[in-house]
Amino acid sequence: MYGAGIRAFVLAVALAFGLAPAAHAAPDYRGLVDRIDALLTEAAADYDAGRAEQARGKVQKSYFEIFENLEGPIRVNVSAKRSFELESEFGKIRKLIKDGVPPAEVRARIEAHVAGLDRLVPELERGFQIKAESTQPLAAPADAPKTVAPHWAKIADAISADLRAGAEAYAAGDAAAARTAITRAQFEGYKNSLLETAIRRHLSQRQDAAINAEFGRILGLVRDGDKPTKVAASGVVLADEIRSYLPGLPLIGAAAEEAKAASEAAAVDWGKVVADVMAEIDGAIANPNREAAVSDVQDAYFDLFEASGMEGRIGARDAGFKTELEGHFSRIAAMLSAGRPDAELAKARAAMADDMARAAKLLGGGGDSPFALFVYALMILLREGVEAMLIVAAIIAYLAKTGHSDKIGVIRNSVAVALGLSVVTAVAVKLVFDASAASQEVLEGATMLLAAVVLFSMSYWLISKAEAEQWMAYIRDKVGGSLSSGSLKALWFASFLAVYREGAETVLFYQALVSGADATGNLAIAGGFGAGCVGLGAIYLAMRYGAMKLAIRPFFMITGGLLYLMAFVFAGKGVMELVEGRVIQPKLVPWLPEFSPLGIFPYWQTALPQFALIAAALVAALVLMRRRTAMVAEMEASRR
């Protein structure tokens, strides 16, 4: 699934910079389906032979390694709904195996699933034709892209029942009762329920006119004494046509308020989600097959914690707490993989249970008040924006400090591009490609690691200039001179990466925050966003003009140190994102501390790049000290 997220990123970059994708050979859709067929057939055989774990693994492999290459084309050429249905089927087959159903049931389900994929191959091979779908927000992140509101479904059922009653009355010879029932279907069912208004407002007046005309035609059939079978068939066709317009149709007026009340009454039972997660974790800890146990922990994360919406909603309220919760899954998976003692596992399990219970309590207090939503929206922007603002403000202050104020526009350009592209990417991976948490985490991890490399190289460059007396002279003599093209591009890229990574995450957090909020809540969120913008502006001005009061050497040292610190944090957090996205299997290091604000985690995979950065910083410091010593000696010799 993370492959689909990366393709979304590449597509977004191409669109943002006006690049046309290179021509390439058409994908082998038949070959991909045949490979899925082969793997699932092997899974069925394994399950027949009592090898359930191997069977589950092959079902999982057929999805992650093969079907992900079909998800995008199915969305484009068929529909997002069909892609979602086929994607979900892999999970359902895996669950059947896990539940121990009869092998014949599993094999039948697999054969039906492969047959469904086979039917799509000709359509996929015909080309890439974009098909529009409703973009209305979903009731929950795991829902299919097109859903029918229960209110509209009830109205459609009532219309269908009245049309059927009219046809039956007409067949019985009571034309007056037939006209009454059909008229009731049109006015009480279609018009007075506001379904007509919703179709006219959100679809088209043409469709509304066609529906009303069909009601009139059916009444005409009754008036003219036409065949009863024709009246009945016309009613069925009209009811089906009305139902075809319901997926994605927004609720309006009193219907919207009624749906809101029903939604609040059927709010997610977070206590049950936590109980399900911990039951899965307990099963993993008790599983003697360590490889399967690690897979069970990952299933608990993706199938329960992420799929229920708990991850996103916690992140929108407290990103630090979200990181702690994610860390529990990674830590227990690493401990199982390393074969740690039962006592350590029990301790880790207890800590996780406590934090999960706290998460359920945080989310289970009913709907958030407008004030709470305002605070959450404010803190999201300040929390996610400060890191980016520190880097951008430092770069802009550097340009102004060294007499290159005319180049500040280049950095502003990078910020604008990053903000726009972060929105495009967040929408692409969340809505267009329906990417999982793994996809988002892989994207974030890759961006953070790239940013760590760029920021470390920039920090070394800045600190080296602070130590060079020739550079100080150059600044004094060449104020207003131009930077090299390469240096300016590096500065642009550094600010772009900082803003892009934080911007995309901010959009995703706001999506989680507005889900379920009413009009008043959305106004509060907008107010918090506005206040956050003002706060970031104040931070920027304080840094921008406060830095101008520093002497050149302290300024370069402080700025370089800040960039190095950010590189250190990004290195640890970037690798941790890849761990959570299943790209890397973590190896636990019990004696390492954990301090997530600095990107420090108790795993070799996160610690090694940070150790490398520390070693590189020590080497760089040694080089700079020797260079400074040589420079001082040279200057003293020249004075003699």
Closest C-alpha among 329, 323, 324, 314 to residue 281: 329
Contact (Cβ atoms closer than 8 angstroms) between residue 338 and residue 588: yes
- Least confidently predicted of 192-201, 346-355, 366-375, 617-626: 366-375
Mutual angle of helices 552-580 and 319-338, in 10-degree steps: 60
pLDDT digits (tens, 9 = 90+) for 227-277: 888 788 788 878 888 988 888 888 876 666 555 544 544 456 788 889 999
Closest C-alpha among 394, 545, 543, 547 to residue 462: 394
3-state secondary structure 564-608: HHHHHHHHHHHHHHHHHCCCCCCCECCCCCCEHHHCECCEHHHHH
- Least confidently predicted of 339-343, 350-354, 455-459: 455-459
pLDDT digits (tens, 9 = 90+) for 285-309: 988 888 888 888 878 887 788 777 7
Residues 118, 120, 122, 126, Cα dihedral to 10°: -150
- Least confidently predicted of 25-29, 274-278, 541-545: 25-29
- Least confidently predicted of 118-122, 347-351, 433-437, 596-600: 433-437
**CA-to-CA distance for 334 and 326, rounded, in angstroms?**
13
Handedness of CA 430, 432, 436, 440 (dihedral sign): negative
Contact (Cβ atoms closer than 8 angstroms) between residue 395 and residue 494: yes
Q: Which residue has the higher pLDDT, 534 or 364?
A: 534
Contact (Cβ atoms closer than 8 angstroms) between residue 235 and residue 167: yes
**CA-to-CA distance for 257 and 263, rounded, in angstroms?**
10
- Alpha helices by DSSP H, listed for 225-269, are 228-244, 253-265
pLDDT digits (tens, 9 = 90+) for 397-450: 778 777 778 888 888 898 888 888 877 776 665 554 444 445 566 666 676 677
Q: What is the mean pLDDT of residues 535-550?
A: 75
- Alpha helices by DSSP H, listed for 370-484, are 370-401, 408-427, 437-467, 469-477
- The CA–CA distances, whole Å, from 278 to 225, 365, 386, 419 equal 66, 21, 35, 38
Give residue 477's pLDDT: 44
Give residue 13's pLDDT: 38
Band (pLDDT 50/70/90 cuts) for residue 317 is confident
- Least confidently predicted of 154-158, 339-343, 479-483: 479-483
At residue 407's C-alpha, the angle toward residues 401 and 412, to 5°, is: 105
Per-residue tokens: 380: 């999201």
Give residue 443's pLDDT: 62
Give residue 212's pLDDT: 87
Closest C-alpha among 598, 544, 527 to residue 381: 527
Q: What is the mean pLDDT of residues 18-38?
A: 67
Helices (H) and strands (E) in the chain, counts: 25, 0
Q: What is the mean pLDDT of residues 356-375?
A: 75
Handedness of CA 130, 131, 136, 140 (dihedral sign): negative
- Token pair 């529906």 in the structure block, residue: 211
SS3 of 251, please? coil
Confidence check: pLDDT of 202 > 60: yes
Closest C-alpha among 376, 326, 350 to residue 582: 326
pLDDT digits (tens, 9 = 90+) for 148-197: 888 888 899 999 999 999 999 999 999 999 999 999 998 888 888 888 88
Per-residue tokens: 75: 């969305």
pTM reported for the whole predicted model: 0.42
Give residue 576's pLDDT: 78
pLDDT digits (tens, 9 = 90+) for 93-124: 988 998 889 998 888 888 888 877 877 787 77
Confidence check: pLDDT of 41 > 50: yes
- The CA–CA distances, whole Å, from 441 to 247, 258, 504, 618 equal 31, 37, 11, 31
**CA-to-CA distance for 538 and 542, rounded, in angstroms?**
6
Band (pLDDT 50/70/90 cuts) for residue 16 is very low
Band (pLDDT 50/70/90 cuts) for residue 367 is low
Handedness of CA 598, 599, 603, 609 (dihedral sign): negative
- Least confidently predicted of 26-40, 206-220, 568-582: 568-582
Give residue 281's pLDDT: 92
Buried b (16+ CB within 10 A) or exposed e, 416-447: ebbbebbebbbbbbbebbbbbbbbbbbbbbbb
First vs last C-alpha separation in the chain: 69
**CA-to-CA distance for 170 and 364, rounded, in angstroms?**
53
Q: What is the mean pLDDT of residues 72-94?
A: 77
Band (pLDDT 50/70/90 cuts) for residue 9 is very low
Give residue 476's pLDDT: 45
How many Cα neighbours within 13 Å face the side chain of 480?
1
Average pLDDT, the chain: 75
DSSP state of 406: G
Confidence check: pLDDT of 516 > 80: no
Give residue 135's pLDDT: 34
Per-residue tokens: 220: 């005409």
Give residue 84's pLDDT: 72
Q: What is the mean pLDDT of residues 319-331?
A: 82
Give residue 292's pLDDT: 84
- Least confidently predicted of 392-406, 511-525, 547-561: 547-561
Q: Which residue has the higher pLDDT, 595 or 531?
A: 531
Residue type, 326: E
Q: What is the mean pLDDT of residues 497-518?
A: 69
